[in-house]
Amino acid sequence: MTATLIDGKAFAAALRARLAEEVAGLAGRGLVPGLSVVLVGEDPASQVYVRSKERMAAEAGMVSIAHRLPAETAQDDLLALIRTLNAEPTVHGILVQLPLPAGLDAQAVVLAIDPAKDVDGLHPINAGNLASGVPALVPCTPSGCMMMLRDRLGDLSGANAVVVGRSNLMGKPMAQLLLAANCTVTVAHSRTRDLPAVCRSADILVAAVGRPRMIGADWIKPGATVIDVGINRLPPEPGADKGKLVGDVDFEAAKEVAGAITPVPGGVGPMTIACLLDNTVEAACRANGISRG
Ligand SMILES: NC(=O)C1=CN([C@@H]2O[C@H](COP(=O)(O)OP(=O)(O)OC[C@H]3O[C@@H](n4cnc5c(N)ncnc54)[C@H](OP(=O)(O)O)[C@@H]3O)[C@@H](O)[C@H]2O)C=CC1
Ligand SMILES: Nc1nc(=O)c2c([nH]1)NC[C@@H]1CN(c3ccc(C(=O)N[C@@H](CCC(=O)O)C(=O)O)cc3)C=[N+]21
Ligand SMILES: [Mg+2]
């Protein structure tokens, strides 16, 4: 059996095209959604994502400003920047790229972000609202995963969903969204016993671990839908300057067993950025009392 490829890149391009139309309409009413991305330090992978976010925001007709700060930035200076952005009416969304360099307290930074501008959905107000079934800004990566799952499967009611990973940015909100969609949800992590057997029970398997190709073909129920969130850079082959980008799933093996699977690159990653733009439009509309169609 060969799995259907879930084309996140094409799905994301379609979502961005719809957003560009919506943004053009808002601009006609004098509202230009604005996103501020804060990048502390020089992590090369983060620089790639931040450039990609800036470019795609601009293509959708939005304003995106990246604030690049040195790794030695003091906590108080970072908090002062967040407060400035909170008070700036042209900024509707604030995203602080994680992880932060050692010495900076990510939790304190997240708490400082105005929940109404928290387009990452990381503030406890948004996380709590999501868990309580109250409208919230929802973390972008899980939102993107849900869009692809609904597109592929329609109604998810009753499906056994296994999420591997329990981070605040990915695993926990993913589990909340699957639960809200009436899946039976299992959240697995580094202490889970017999992880391969747990994964094999999944009709929907979401991998957000950060371990290259950890999930092999024999961990997958035949016909399952597999969403691979992992972004792992392998060491470069001799003579190459950059290693290959791979997910947490052994794609070549898994595609012979799964019913459908997202590739890396070209799967979840592009959807994350499209959903970030969507959250920014959402935040801009709410701030201006505009209801979206
Ligand atoms: N495509 C995209 O848009 C995005 C991709 N990512 C990628 O997704 C991956 C996960 O990201 P993130 O959630 O932030 O990562 P974290 O490092 O914050 O969390 C990793 C999770 O995986 C669990 N884990 C680690 N090792 C194992 C193991 N051997 N078996 C089972 N579980 C394990 C950890 O368990 P424990 O809690 O017990 O330590 C933890 O819950 C990374 O590759 C990241 O780059 C992340 C965000 C967006
Ligand atoms: N506060 C915060 N919010 C985040 O959402 C966040 C973060 N910090 N820190 C890092 C992770 C990772 N992340 C990615 C986004 C897009 C791609 C993406 O577009 N990937 C492309 C390829 C990119 C490449 O070639 O390197 C793809 O998968 O096709 C990947 C990873 C967001 N994250
Ligand atoms: Mg993390």
Domain ranges of the chain: 30-115, 140-269
30-115: CATH topology is Rossmann fold (3.40.50)
pLDDT the model gives residue 119? 98
| 293 pLDDT more than 80 | no
Atom of ligand 2 nearest to the CA of 266: 29
61 annotated binding-site participant: no
Atom of ligand 1 nearest to the CA of 210: 43
Residue tagged 């093996």 (tokens): 253
Half-sphere exposure of 93 (CA within 13 A, CB side): 34
Q: Does residue 187's CB lie within 6 angstroms of at least one atom of ligand 1?
A: no
**Which of these is catalytic: 53, 117, 221, 255?**
53
140-269 and 30-115 share a CATH fold: yes
Confirm whether 120 is a catalytic residue: yes
36 annotated binding-site participant: no
Residue 268: which pLDDT band, with cuts at 50, 70 and 90?
A: very high
Query: Distance from the CA of 27 to the center of ligand 3, in angstroms?
Result: 35
Report pLDDT digits (tens) over 198-221. Answer: 999 999 999 999 999 999 999 999
| 71 pLDDT more than 80 | yes
Q: Measured between alpha carbons, how far is 235 from 254 in angstroms, rounded to an integer?
A: 22
290 annotated binding-site participant: no
Confirm whether 75 is a catalytic residue: no
Contact 51, 7 (CB under 8 A): no
Report pLDDT digits (tens) over 29-69. Answer: 999 999 999 999 988 888 888 999 999 999 999 999 999 99
Residue 272: which pLDDT band, with cuts at 50, 70 and 90?
A: very high
Three-class secondary structure of residue 166 per DSSP: coil
Report pLDDT digits (tens) over 130-145. Answer: 999 999 999 999 999 9
Query: Distance from the CA of 108 to the center of ligand 2, in angstroms?
Result: 22
pTM exceeds cut of 0.95: yes
Q: Measured between alpha carbons, how far is 141 from 218 in angstroms, rounded to an integer?
A: 26
State ipTM.
0.98
The CATH architecture that domain 140-269 belongs to is 3-Layer(aba) Sandwich (3.40)
Query: Distance from the CA of 288 to the center of ligand 3, in angstroms?
Result: 32
Q: What is the separation of C-alpha 244 from the centre of its chain, rounded to a whole number of angstroms?
A: 21
Strands 4-5, 204-207: pairing is unpaired
* N-to-C CA span, the chain: 40
Residue 1: which pLDDT band, with cuts at 50, 70 and 90?
A: low
